[in-house]
Structure 1
Amino acid sequence: MAVNPAVYGASTRPPRGDYGRAADDYTCTQDYAAYTAQDHALYHRLYERQSAQLPGLASQHFIDALPLLGAKERIPRLEEVSERLYRATRWQLVAVPGLIPEAPFFTLLANRKFPVTDWIRTPAEFDYIVEPDIFHDLFGHVPLLFNPVFADYVQRYGQGGLKAHQLGACEMLARLYWYTIEFGLIREHGALRAYGAGILSSAGELAYAVRSPEPQRLPLQIERTMRTRYKIDSYQQTYFVTESFEQLFALTAPDFTPLYACLRKLPEFAADAH
């Protein structure tokens, strides 16, 4: 069975990655021997730059778990990180050739398997990359999967995604993913901190999201989040703030089926709407 890449946003350029080596579930074997010395050096530079920015801006949960990725001097072997992760929260990492469609993505999350793109950006993309690469997926997402509550939330999201896919509600649920797992903010000991992978792996958005007076920051509320459009090519103009991962988990406990029906009748909010 041939698998096809997913389309990202409004881009007309097909996603990179060799989908010909993917299995029916879109997973593949990490071709570790294919990484060059330049690839490992680039990963190290990205890691050093981002980790230096974390104090005072990133969730302490993230900072505490980051060393579990292993040596920062080289691209990690996914199976090594996966072994540590499984012992901690029963999650596993699986390699994928790039972005994958919604149903396979939700299925992996529902089964506590996190898909990690196995290629790394080029040096020319050091400051910005359109698609998620192995640095974004590993550095940005994986540390918080060592947190039991957040790990359970991501699985619950995958389970909800499978239902949303059947109900034609993936766009609304995608906004929840975007504003929590990718661009979420959390309040820790009264201070604002970032926990979203898109913020934590970004050279510029980390400080902007937490400290800039420009964006609005709203308390996380499921209905408003699902009605709010988002930006894929610039810093966010709206962020949603949760008080704890326990709150995040609790907010996603109800069945969203009646909520989707209600939200379809309501107007959407622009990314910068107040």
Structure 2
Amino acid sequence: MSVAAIPTPTKLHAAEPFLIQQDWAGYTPEQHDIWRELVLRRMPQLVQHACAEYLDGFHQIGLQADQLPDLTAVSKRLQPRTGWQSTPVSGFLPADAFFEMLAARMFPTTTWIRSRESMEYTPEPDIFHDVFGHVPMHAHPVFADFLEHYGKVCAALTSADALERMGRLFWFTVEFGVIRERGEIKVYGSGLISSHGECTQVVERIAGLEIRDFNLEQVLEEKVDTGNMQKVLYAIESFEQIYEATKEAEARLG
């Protein structure tokens, strides 16, 4: 049985025990079918409401609707563009390992796929959330630079309060970010990209959701609710805006 391994030229310390190999040949036809159904369910909405950078990245990294992604192949297409890799890990990482990997442009990617009984929601990220939701944005140079810098900033912080505040910046950008594109709200955060319910709330402006202009001070103070649909989102005007916001947050909190 062939095993796909991704090279790790950067020496990791905190993350090293969590690095694994993706056994792509070991996925079953049922698991490929689940991936296919998830992708085909999401794409019609995303073609209309995802930002242009996400849709471009989806094609640039070679994602396919009919089979689970081979992380080696994804990284071979991604790395020449922005230096990022989609690196397989065993599961949820502690903070120091997570930030270390981001700082090295290695996105920690789980390799398991949810069951058919959990198609709508899974409490822990799976390969659909990680690759379909996150990785296309890593093909965008400014977003790629922002994410690396974010990892470096967080890796250097020692205050629990500062880390919590920086976590809010991640939540309202990388996970639940929206952007104004030609006057329309488009989604780019992985939690919106990979979740039909969360994205529909944005698209249909369901009552109770407030979309505010991005404001770093407000974002750093906004409480995160991981158990319910989002009540507040912050719309950026460009990806340069969140890169600069990370630098500003570093100056404030570091």
Displacement of 1:213 in angstroms is 4.3
Higher mean C-alpha deviation, range 190-199 or range 210-219: 210-219
Whether the 8 Å CA contact 1:57–1:207 is kept in 2: the answer is: no
The 3-state SS of whatever aligns with 1:241 is strand
Match for residue 222 of structure 2? 228
Residue 248 of structure 1: aligned partner: 242
Q: Return the TM-score normalized by structure 2.
A: 0.89
Report SS of the residue matched to 2:166. Answer: helix
1:15 aligned residue: none
Q: What corresponds to 1:130 in structure 2?
A: 123
Aligned to 1:175: 168
The CA distance in 2 between the partners of 1:25 and 1:226, in whole Å, is: 31
The share of aligned pairs that are identical, in percent, is 36
User: TM-score normalized by structure 1?
Assistant: 0.83
Q: How many angstroms apart in 2 are the aligned matches of 1:28 and 1:149? A: 28
Question: Structure 1: how far apart are the matches of 2:173 and 2:54?
Answer: 14
Contact 2:82 2:138 in 1 (8 A): yes
Q: Which runs of 5+ in 1 are unaligned?
A: 1-21, 262-274
> Secondary structure at the residue paired with 1:127?
coil
- 1:86–1:238 distance in 2 versus 1, CA, 3 Å: same
Paired position in structure 2 for 1:100: 93
Q: C-alpha separation between the residues in 1 aligned to 2:16 and 2:245?
A: 33
Greater alpha carbon shift after TM alignment, 155-164 vs 104-113: 155-164
Cα separation, 2, equivalents of 1:181 and 1:157: 11
Mark the runs of 5 or more structure 2 residues left unpaired by the alignment.
1-13
Q: Give the superposition deviation at 1:23.
A: 7.0
Change (3 A) 1:109 1:207: same
SS of 1:204's partner is helix
- 1:50 is aligned to 2:42: yes
- Kindly indicate whether the alpha-carbon contact (under 8 Å) linking 2:15 and 2:101 is maintained by their aligned counterparts in 1: no
Distance 1:260 1:252 in 2: 10
1:179 touches 1:225 (CA, 8 Å); kept in 2? yes
Tell me, yes or no, if the aligned pair for 1:183 and 1:196 is still in contact at 8 Å.
yes
Answering whether residue 134 of structure 2 is matched by residue 141 of structure 1, we say: yes
- AA of the residue aligned to 2:234: F
Deviations 1:115-151 (A, max 9, x none): 1111011100001111110000000100010000001
Residue equivalent to 2:4 = none
**Partner residue of 1:188 out of 181, 186, 198:** 181
- Give CA-to-partner distance per residue, 1:42-86, whole Å, 9 cap, x none: 001001111111133111111122123332211111000000000
Aligned partner of 2:82 in structure 1 is 89
AA at the equivalent of 1:61:
E
Residue 62 of structure 1 is matched in structure 2 by 54
Q: Provide the residue aligned with 1:216 in structure 2.
A: 210
Q: Name the residue aligned to 2:28.
A: 36
Contact 1:82 1:93 in 2 (8 A): yes
Deviation at 1:201, TM superposition (A): 0.3
Instruction: State the Cα distance separating 1:211 from its structure 2 match.
Output: 3.1
Which whole-Å CA distance do the structure 2 matches of 1:223 and 1:260 have between them? 12
Q: How far apart in 2 are the matches of 1:160 and 1:57?
A: 31
Q: Which residue of 1 aligns with 2:16?
A: 24
Distance 1:244 1:23 in 2: 31
Q: State the one-letter code of the partner of 1:188.
A: E
